Structure 1
Amino acid sequence: MSISATLPDAATPTGGAPVVARRRRGLRPTANGLPWILPAIVVVVGLIYFSIGYTGYVSALDWNGFILTEPTFLGLANFAEMFGDPVFWKALTHTAVFYVVTFTVQTALGFTFAALMHSQVYLRGVYKVVVFVPTVLAPATMAPVFRQIFDADGQLNTLLRAVGLDGLTQTWLAGGTTAMGVVMLATIWQWTGLTFILFYAAMSQIDTEILEAARMDGAGNLRTLWSVVWPMCKGTTVALATLGLIGALKTFDWPYLITKGGPNYATEFLGTYIYHTMLSEKRFGYAAAISVALLVLALACGVFMSLRNRHEGKA
């Protein structure tokens, strides 16, 4: 009698599946996430990074953008011209002032609205919708409304005359300071809703026992907001500051649609200046150089804000 016929099958343990089959199933390749992220990789590498590289190449040329014309290689001449361009520095200054004013006002309004919505306010749901609705409205649809309101014969001047304040009427969009104020007002009107939603969510995460302890220690509502709630919303504030800074550097829609960068470059931003330089003056090389500078500024600001937040978190 054969020995192999009497011995149990070593590859088939009692009450289980064959070990070989188990091993084969274990070696079977499992699905990974590459097919899901491949489209995003193609878009990022093939479109965004290629566009950035091509913009860097065009920034070294003197070219009007037409394929039939032969571009002239200038090296860093466009960047040298940019650093000596007063309009570029004016646009950069406008961006800095715009960021400080809009971020400060949006933060104050958003935090105040969020605190009010967490209190016993009648029809809170309606107020939330009213505050947030401007965020989802396109500037292209609302810019004509702002132009009409602040026109020399618009609703604002009409209202001022009706209440006897004729001395306050003026051509709001024709003055440098007032035109910038209108652009800031439109931006604040649109993005305060997003600031409000983020602060409202941050306040919802605060433990109620902490607020009750503050009140037991004798802190009033304002003291509790300033000393307890505001510090606990620091992460939200930093995130909004970072987004606001990058958004200010890329500002284009409101100043272009309301004032087109005027009057006399009073509301010129880097985005509008790039647009005018490229399409109106047909200087694609110089516009690309400003675009590269804008990208570097946005990256530097983002990295700075991130490192600062990380350093403060460790401290």
Structure 2
Amino acid sequence: MSTTPSLRVALIAVASLALLAGCGNSSDADSDGKNAGGGSSSSKVTVVASTNVYGDITEQIGGDKVDVTSIISDPDQDPHSYEASTQNQLALSKAKVVIENGGGYDDFVDRMLKSSGNSGAERINAVKVSGKTAPEGEELNEHVWYDFPTVSKLADRIAAALGKADSANADTFTKNAEAFKKKLTALETKEADIKKAHHGEGVGITEPVPLYLTEAAGLDNKTPEEFSEAIEEGDDVSPKTLQETLKLYSGKKVAALVYNEQTSGPQTEKVKKAAENAGIPVVPVTETLPEGKDYIGWMTSNVDALAAALNK
């Protein structure tokens, strides 16, 4: 039997209330080994982030003064199709700070936070922090964590929220945010170096995920919009659009393919194969942190890989 979205949320809320009633001594932990209830120590600021991207940024700023739960942390999980659990809702019910991407990317956070009854949490929406809006007649590219100026603004916003929750350590959070932003500046310098050497060169993508990065590097996305939109939405690409996309590689009209590994399928695999057959470098990217990487290390690898591909 299928359920409507509203009924599904209601069922989750009921299950969560039962869980809250019986979990006083629970030792359940999330995939990172952290207590899914939102914190192992009452002295720490409990934070829930929709993905481990925002979770890691928060840890860089909060250090040992925060207890962070990242709802999505599996690099093989497509965030667009994620279905949150009762454990997630329990964490949200106890969070002092909640960080979401926004822009339609992780709407489950809004639904579950509302059902949790936690109206006092400080909420941070990365898309709203970015100030970005959709161009007229187009959709917003919500993947704002690939935009370093946005992440810099977000760092300040996170530091302010943590400082509000823990005023005794507000100065520490501010200093940590400044140190983090200096590392972002170094990444922007790398982007500027790519732009200086390769401005106007064409690249292909499978999804809009890396576009803030490629645009900052001065590169021209040649992929038909119909292709990348269909892949992002999980729809089939028309044969005409697929052939138009494949010709970018057989005709060597692009210098690299930036490929989202988290949403691969038969049609994106055809594009990847076409690039490889043509000797065009493939630069893999993901939407969440790979295992063993922090945000700065991850983005440094992405920028360096793009530069290396273009320099071939």
Alignment TM-score, normalising by the size of structure 1: 0.24
Specify which structure has the bigger relative contact order, considering alpha-carbon pairs within 8 angstroms and separated by 6 or more residues.
1
Larger Rg: 1
Which one has a larger percent strand, Structure 1 or Structure 2? 2
Alignment TM-score, normalising by the size of structure 2: 0.24
Which one has a larger percent helix, Structure 1 or Structure 2? 1
